[in-house]
Chains A and B, each alone.
Chain A
Amino acid sequence: MRLFQSVPERFRRTSGSEKSVVPPTGFTAQLTLFSAAAMAFLAVFALALSQASGRLADRWSAELARSATVRINAPKDQIDAQTEAVMKVLKTTVGIAEARVIGKDEQQALLAPWFGPDLPLDALPLPQLIEVIEDETGYDSDGLRQRLAAETPGAVLDDHTRWRKPLVKAADRLRSLGLISIILITLTMGAMIALAANAALAANAQVIRVLRLIGARDAFIVRAFVRRFTLRAVGGALVGTALGMVSVAFLPAASTAGGFLTGLGFRGWNWFLPLTIPLLAGLVAFWATRWAAFRRLRELT
């Protein structure tokens, strides 16, 4: 501050050419700042949403794709024989890494959360379950189904696609919605800045006229406006992004046991992603203002 005061007033006021040729406009400046901040805030959430749903989709498709279950419904006395037959089929099927009979204990553990630990498993007509893990190449599920049907009428292959597909689809859709939101937010911000720039250009028509008359090139005039709006957009977006990131960071953590929601947030290096928002805002403001300014200048001599 002291440094500034020691600079002679005249020097300070005559330097910095295009900075001062446009009169300051408090109101549009504040509106632009606010819009940029709000849009950046929303963009952080859209980004967090698409990140989280992306993770969800990846995890579901990865985990569920690798495993399948064969369920054997048969009278009690035939179960063991059928299980053996199924295991034989599975062992000779190409693309299956492992097939494992799920024992009574394990079945009990699986069901305990729903029916309590004291479930009399023996009394229930529970099917026998066999877990099938596929290897890298994978197996032909239709072929396997046909072979199972031929050998053991009570065996049903459940490769989870039935309920996995819609879930993964939903998560993928959620991710695209997040991305579409980001695109829309970007375009809206561009539109708002173009509108604000247009208003500023209209309000300063006389200034622009005078500048042209004394020999200013379009680029000089455009620079004065672009500089201003880019700085405002970046400033606003920095504030909005910071607030958005803080809000995301302090979201209550989703239950880890359920794992159904992976938590709306960023993981690891993904925390750097929202930092691109102010950059993007600056770029958008730069181009939107340039476009608006050159368009308007073409109407003058």
Chain B
Amino acid sequence: MIELENVSYNYGGGELLSNVSLNLAPGSFHFLTGPSGAGKTTFLKLCYMELRATAGHVQAFGADVRSMGRDDIARARRRIGVVHQDCQFLDHLPISENIALPLAVSGQSTSAEADNLDDLMQWVGLKRRAHALPAELSGGERQRAALARAVIMSPDVILADEPTGNVDWEMSKRLLSLLVELNRMGKAILIATHDLNLIRTAKSQVNARVLRIKDRHLQLAGADL
């Protein structure tokens, strides 16, 4: 559904990613690892079209990103749920509204999805905090909320940037199981993480491939985990 073909990216100070290719097919489960500053977040930004590849082709749902207009990109993003490393909420809205925001901006009735929203808040353990503002939440609570927002539209692709960076192991497993559940429903999942435990646990549940960014290239990390 998202396909990168010989993609390179360069912020201006030399190439950060070179000749990277990847196909996020329905039902696929990928982990993305690499040292800090290797370009994991950059890679995800290429996938959700915040950055344009400086070379190569990125396709989203069959369309070349370069040929997509702003509205096409907006519509494609509704099919991609993203957990950002720094969450990205609207700070003046309570967390429940932030989670429901993708529904609101795509013109769907939030009241029709109220049950769905409730279940989801329950799932990520934020039901009691529904009316808190993002700034009033802990780091882990924010990450859980970000995951809830990423999945509320039931997107085809879920991209998560360090989704378990601030949560304890129990919660990590819980969030992982939600992602695994979604993967079994056919969603493509890509998680950038440093958490080797998380990767191991996932591998015991799904057929996950582990990618590593090393020396600007994307490698398939094999059995060494």
A interface list, Cβ under 8 A from B: 10-11, 13-15, 17-18, 20-21, 23-24, 206-207, 209-220, 297-298, 301
CB < 8 Å neighbour of B89 from A18, A20, A210 = A210
Q: Quick check: B84 and A213 within 8 Å, CB to CB?
A: yes
Interface centre among A14, A20, A24, A220 (most CB of B within 10 A): A14
Give Cα distance in the complex from A24 to B51, angstroms.
Answer: 30
Q: Quick check: B70 and A214 within 8 Å, CB to CB?
A: no
CB < 8 Å neighbour of A217 from B48, B49, B71, B96 = B71
Q: Quick check: B90 and A213 within 8 Å, CB to CB?
A: no
Given contacts A207-B90, A301-B49, contact A214 B77 (CB under 8 A): yes
Give Cα distance in the complex from A219 to B71, angstroms.
Answer: 9
Q: Quick check: B101 and A301 within 8 Å, CB to CB?
A: no
Chain B minimum-CB-distance residue to A220 = B105
Q: Does B111 contact A (CB under 8 A)?
A: yes
* Residue interface bits B87-123, CB-to-A below 8 A is 1, else 0: 0111111101100111011110011001000000000
Q: Does B50 contact A (CB under 8 A)?
A: yes
Q: Quick check: B49 and A214 within 8 Å, CB to CB?
A: no
Q: Quick check: B106 and A20 within 8 Å, CB to CB?
A: no
Write out the residue numbers on chain A whose beta carbons fall within 8 Å of the beta carbon of B111.
Answer: 11, 14-15
Write out the residue numbers on chain B whose beta carbons fall within 8 Å of the beta carbon of A11.
Answer: 111
Q: Quick check: B50 and A211 within 8 Å, CB to CB?
A: no
B interface list, Cβ under 8 A from A: 48-52, 70-71, 73-78, 82, 84, 88-94, 96-97, 100-102, 104-107, 110-111, 114, 130, 149, 153
Q: Quick check: B93 and A20 within 8 Å, CB to CB?
A: yes
Q: Quick check: A215 and B92 within 8 Å, CB to CB?
A: no
Interface centre among B70, B76, B92, B104 (most CB of A within 10 A): B104
B-side binding surface: helix, strand, loop or mixed? Answer: loop
Write out the residue numbers on chain A whose beta carbons fall within 8 Å of the beta carbon of B51.
Answer: 301
Q: Quick check: B94 and A13 within 8 Å, CB to CB?
A: yes
CB < 8 Å neighbour of A218 from B71, B90, B96, B153 = B71
Q: Quick check: A216 and B84 within 8 Å, CB to CB?
A: no
- Given contacts A21-B105, A214-B77, list 13 more A-B pairs with CB under 8 A: A14-B97, A14-B104, A14-B111, A17-B110, A21-B104, A23-B90, A23-B91, A210-B90, A213-B77, A215-B106, A216-B106, A220-B105, A301-B73
Shortest Cβ-Cβ A-B pairs, 6 listed:
A216-B105, A215-B78, A23-B92, A215-B77, A17-B104, A217-B74
Interface centre among A24, A216, A220 (most CB of B within 10 A): A216
Given contacts A17-B105, A210-B90, contact A216 B97 (CB under 8 A): no
Q: Quick check: A213 and B88 within 8 Å, CB to CB?
A: yes
Write out the residue numbers on chain B whose beta carbons fall within 8 Å of the beta carbon of A214.
Answer: 77-78, 82, 101-102, 105, 149
- Tell me the smallest distance from the CB of A217 to a CB of chain B, in Å: 4
- Tell me the smallest distance from the CB of B114 to a CB of chain A, in Å: 8
Chain B minimum-CB-distance residue to A21 = B90
- Tell me the smallest distance from the CB of B183 to a CB of chain A, in Å: 21
Give Cα distance in the complex from A217 to B153, angstroms.
Answer: 16
Write out the residue numbers on chain A whose beta carbons fall within 8 Å of the beta carbon of B97.
Answer: 13-14, 20
Q: Quick check: B71 and A15 within 8 Å, CB to CB?
A: no
- Tell me the smallest distance from the CB of A33 to a CB of chain B, in Å: 21
- Tell me the smallest distance from the CB of B142 to a CB of chain A, in Å: 13
Give Cα distance in the complex from A216 to B77, angstroms.
Answer: 9
- Tell me the smallest distance from the CB of A22 to a CB of chain B, in Å: 9
Write out the residue numbers on chain B whose beta carbons fall within 8 Å of the beta carbon of A212.
Answer: 74, 77
- Tell me the smallest distance from the CB of A29 to a CB of chain B, in Å: 15
Q: Quick check: A216 and B74 within 8 Å, CB to CB?
A: yes
Write out the residue numbers on chain B whose beta carbons fall within 8 Å of the beta carbon of A217.
Answer: 70-71, 74-75, 105
- Tell me the smallest distance from the CB of B66 to a CB of chain A, in Å: 13
- Tell me the smallest distance from the CB of B180 to a CB of chain A, in Å: 23
Q: Quick check: A213 and B94 within 8 Å, CB to CB?
A: no
Write out the residue numbers on chain B whose beta carbons fall within 8 Å of the beta carbon of A206.
Answer: 91
